[in-house]
Amino acid sequence: MKAIQIQSERKMGVVEIPQATMRADEVLLRLQYVGFCGSDLNTYLGKNPMVHLPVIPGHEVGAIIEAVGAEVPEGLKPGMTVTVNPYTNCGKCASCRNSRVNACKHNETLGVQRDGAMREYIALPWEKVIPAGLLTPRTCALIEPMSVGFHAVSRAQVTDIDVVMVIGCGMVGMGAVVRAAQRGATVVAADIDDDKLALARQMGASYTINTQKEDVHARLLEMTSGFGPDVVIEAVGSTQTYQMAVDEVAFTGRVICIGYAKTEISFETKFFVQKELDIRGSRNAQPSDFRAVIHYLERGTCPIDQLISREVTPEEAHQAMADWALNPGKVFRILVKF
């Protein structure tokens, strides 16, 4: 069967791999749409330390159930539209013991630590297959990245009295904007791209800041009566945005870290103490976050078409990735249609 494989730095192509086989406790999925995410771009550029090449990328899935094994519960049936929880959990580490399986010490994400879903068929344990109701497979490919943003809002314990600043309005950041707005918070979206900021307003942001054109500190003080945001969610992974999060969050505020920085970062650590900050990591998503995103998308208010920058065939995927590498700031999601 056909699959997309990243063979080495900046080299990607379509390969033939053996047809997927299914165990008794697995579900065979026929892939319809699979999204490229930032980690796939870093893998393509040779900048993802968690990946050993060659690898089949892809963990943002919209699929149809082709067949089910004999030990699969009756709730999963051929013909159903589904998405996938692409993470693994060992059941034995401290994270798993504390029921935070999304942060399993030994997690292997599809397309990162193990071959992913950019292929015609894949067999997965039934527990990782999530029914998506009446959503289309195309929409399903957006669920996983948005769920990561939803999870960050849960980690921040956002309520309706909070001002929440989201730094970075890619797909993950947009998920955080949506979820924080759903919880009644006042949301400030920050990015360097005006088009993304305009879309963030559509998705629930009350205010926007272009961090390249505006005085971020002055704008935040103006919006918050001089206090600063109660929560800052960092969804970029750069030195500047991490430092901005710590500098701008209010005293006794919460900083939530999603983005992976490529280098070590220096902080004014006095702020950690003086502000008595809560600094929390946020990794992947919980099953409840997937369900919450599906519930949101079922309402039909999400501007799906504006979040999908490009749809390509497997044969066109390499060119799409090369184009994305030249202009990464303008892309939300590239979907590969199988």
Q: What is the per-residue DSSP string for 181-201?
A: HHTT-EEEEEES-HHHHHHHH
DSSP label of 18: P
Q: How far from chain centre, in Å, is Cα 253? A: 24
Task: Give residue 50's pLDDT.
Answer: 87
The rounded distance, in Å, linking the Cα atoms of 289 and 296 is 11
Instruction: Tell me how far apart the 2 most distant CA atoms of the chain are, in Å.
Output: 62
Q: Hey, what are 299's tokens?
A: 């309402």
How far lies 206's CA from each of 200, 280, 324, in Å? 9, 24, 29
Q: Is 323 exposed, middle or buried (0-12, 13-18, 19+ CB in 10 A)?
A: middle
The rounded distance, in Å, linking the Cα atoms of 223 and 240 is 21
- Cβ atoms of residues 228 and 248 within 8 Å: yes
Q: Hey, what are 267's tokens?
A: 């902080």
- Cβ atoms of residues 240 and 266 within 8 Å: no
Per-residue pLDDT of the chain (338 residues; tens, 9 = 90+): 999 999 999 999 999 999 999 999 999 999 999 999 989 999 999 988 889 999 999 999 999 999 999 999 999 999 999 999 999 999 999 999 999 999 999 999 999 999 999 999 999 999 999 999 999 999 999 999 999 999 999 999 999 999 999 999 999 999 999 999 999 999 999 999 999 999 999 999 999 999 999 999 999 999 999 999 999 999 999 999 999 999 999 999 999 999 988 889 999 999 999 999 999 999 999 999 999 999 999 999 999 999 999 999 999 999 999 999 998 878 889 999 99
How far lies 252's CA from each of 231, 249, 268, 269, 273, in Å? 9, 8, 16, 14, 9
Task: Give residue 307's pLDDT.
Answer: 96
In order, the DSSP letters of 69-110 are -TTS-TT--TT-EEEE------SSSHHHHTT-GGG-TT---B
Task: Give residue 331's pLDDT.
Answer: 86
Single pTM value for the model: 0.96
The rounded distance, in Å, linking the Cα atoms of 144 and 150 is 10
